[in-house]
């Protein structure tokens, strides 16, 4: 840490000099404006970013030594989440067709990126989304709606022996992933630029809080997919009505815990969040009932029902984790 003394000029103005190296590194000139932001811990942040816009950062990848499409896709997603404004994919020769397919799949999946330039040996992708236009709360609420319908449709597919509905649930997981990537990207942008955080109406701490919630919700979506996958295995199997009803009852309770966690979050109700966590014991009991019923079923169906019960239980537990995050966040604000 560099220590500098405060001086007084004109009898009333307090002045402190800025490090010369810092000024030069940011190319700050005489009469340029700097932003001063008082932090919650009393520290003072000095920034040249007074407009609140994210800085333009470019990430380049050379793919001549890569032959794994999934690796290319993960690199693109990683650069997107880390907040790069533009991503350039290059090759010493012609861009391989599988790389072009990966880039196209990435732009179709992620929110904001579009291909703005394409040549024989390079592809440039630019994020066109203004972070302020996608508030964290709006994205989280949208994720919760998608998760609820995925889970409900998976259980409906079980009741109706509808394999196509179960497969549709699996395909919708991409919608959850793309929104989670967006929250992760937004949170990284906010952590990199406190002025942008103010423009978006959140603190850097709140951005981390939203990111944690989105990660939990993504996992809930994964379990909705697992339920649907296992339902697809038993759509041709005749199950006893009491088995189906016990699964439905457990599912309803898990979704109630999720719904109450989201209400506690939107209403900032710490007591409701605490009461909701206590519902997990009831859910565990109901899932054990499903597992006991599965013991009387022969073959692959018994295993699938066990997996379904486990995913329902994990859904409720993850929902309770959201309630715990709500408590932690609200305690910090009091």
Residue 326 Cα to chain centre, angstroms: 16
pTM score, two decimals? Answer: 0.85
Tell me what pLDDT residue 171 has. Answer: 93
CA distance 326 to 206: 11
CATH code assigned at 80: 3.30.110.20
Q: pLDDT for 124-164, tens place per residue?
A: 999 999 988 999 999 999 999 999 999 999 999 999 999 99
Domain holding 82, by residue range, is 58-131
Does residue 99 carry a pLDDT above 60? yes
CATH code assigned at 177: 1.20.58.220
| Confidence grade of residue 118 (pLDDT, cut at 50, 70, 90) | very high
Tell me what pLDDT residue 240 has. Answer: 85
CA distance 264 to 272: 6
Residue 279 Cα to chain centre, angstroms: 25
- Say whether 68 sits in a helix, a strand or coil: coil
Tell me what pLDDT residue 301 has. Answer: 86
| Confidence grade of residue 42 (pLDDT, cut at 50, 70, 90) | confident
Tell me what pLDDT residue 13 has. Answer: 80
Tell me what pLDDT residue 221 has. Answer: 97
Into how many domains does the chain fold?
3
CATH code assigned at 22: 2.10.260
- Say whether 320 sits in a helix, a strand or coil: helix
The pair of three-digit structure tokens given for residue 104, joined into one six-digit string: 């196209």
Does residue 59 carry a pLDDT above 60? yes
Judge if 226 and 269 occupy the same domain.
yes
Q: What is the pLDDT averaged over residues 39-51?
A: 72
Judge if 30 and 136 occupy the same domain.
no
Contact 63, 91 (CB under 8 A): yes
Torsion angle of C-alpha atoms 92, 96, 102, 107, degrees rounded to 10 = 60
- Say whether 35 sits in a helix, a strand or coil: strand
CA distance 291 to 302: 8
Tell me what pLDDT residue 61 has. Answer: 95
Q: What is the pLDDT averaged over residues 72-92?
A: 96
Angle, CA of 209, 125 and 222, to the nearest 5° = 40
Q: What is the pLDDT averaged over residues 221-232?
A: 96
Tell me what pLDDT residue 334 has. Answer: 59
Within-domain flag for 1 = no
Residue 268 Cα to chain centre, angstroms: 20
Judge if 114 and 205 occupy the same domain.
no
Computed over every residue of the chain, the mean pLDDT equals 91
Does residue 53 carry a pLDDT above 70? no
| Confidence grade of residue 260 (pLDDT, cut at 50, 70, 90) | very high
Q: What is the pLDDT averaged over residues 34-52?
A: 73
Does residue 96 carry a pLDDT above 90? yes
- Say whether 185 sits in a helix, a strand or coil: helix
Residue 119 Cα distances to 71, 211, 332, angstroms:
22, 36, 51
Tell me what pLDDT residue 84 has. Answer: 95
Judge if 13 and 84 occupy the same domain.
no
Does residue 325 carry a pLDDT above 70? yes
CA torsion through residues 69, 71, 74, 76, sign? negative
């Amino acid at each position: 840490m560099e220590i500098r003394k405060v001086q007084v000029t004109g009898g009333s103005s307090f002045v402190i000099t800025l490090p010369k190296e810092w000024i030069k590194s940011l190319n700050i000139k005489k009469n340029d404006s700097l932003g001063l932001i008082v932090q919650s811990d009393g520290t003072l942040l000095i920034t040249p970013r007074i407009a609140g816009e994210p800085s333009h950062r470019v990430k380049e990848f050379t793919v001549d030594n890569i032959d794994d499409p999934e690796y290319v896709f993960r690199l693109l997603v990683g650069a997107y989440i880390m907040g790069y404004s533009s991503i350039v994919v290059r090759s010493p020769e012609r861009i391989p067709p599988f790389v072009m397919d990966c880039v196209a799949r990435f732009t179709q999946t992620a929110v904001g990126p579009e291909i703005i330039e394409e040549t024989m040996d390079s592809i440039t992708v630019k994020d066109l989304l203004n972070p302020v236009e996608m508030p964290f709360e709006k994205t989280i609420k949208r994720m919760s709606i998608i998760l609820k319908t995925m889970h409900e449709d998976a259980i409906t597919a079980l009741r109706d022996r509808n394999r196509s509905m179960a497969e549709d649930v699996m395909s919708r997981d991409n919608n959850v992933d793309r929104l989670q990537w967006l929250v992760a990207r937004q949170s990284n942008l906010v952590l990199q630029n406190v002025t942008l955080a103010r423009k978006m109406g959140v603190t850097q701490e709140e951005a981390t809080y939203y990111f944690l919630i989105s990660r939990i919700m993504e996992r809930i979506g994964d379990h909705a997919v697992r339920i649907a996958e296992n339902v697809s295995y038993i759509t041709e199997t005749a199950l006893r009505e009491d088995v189906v009803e016990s699964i439905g009852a457990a599912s309803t309770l898990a979704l109630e815990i999720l719904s109450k966690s989201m209400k506690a979050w939107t209403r900032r109700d710490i007591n409701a969040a605490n009461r909701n966590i206590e519902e997990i014991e009831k859910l565990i009991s109901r899932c054990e009932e499903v597992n006991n019923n599965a013991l009387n079923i022969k073959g692959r169906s018994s295993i699938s029902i066990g997996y379904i019960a486990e995913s329902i239980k994990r859904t409720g537990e993850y929902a309770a984790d959201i309630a715990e995050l709500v408590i932690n966040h609200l305690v910090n604000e009091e």
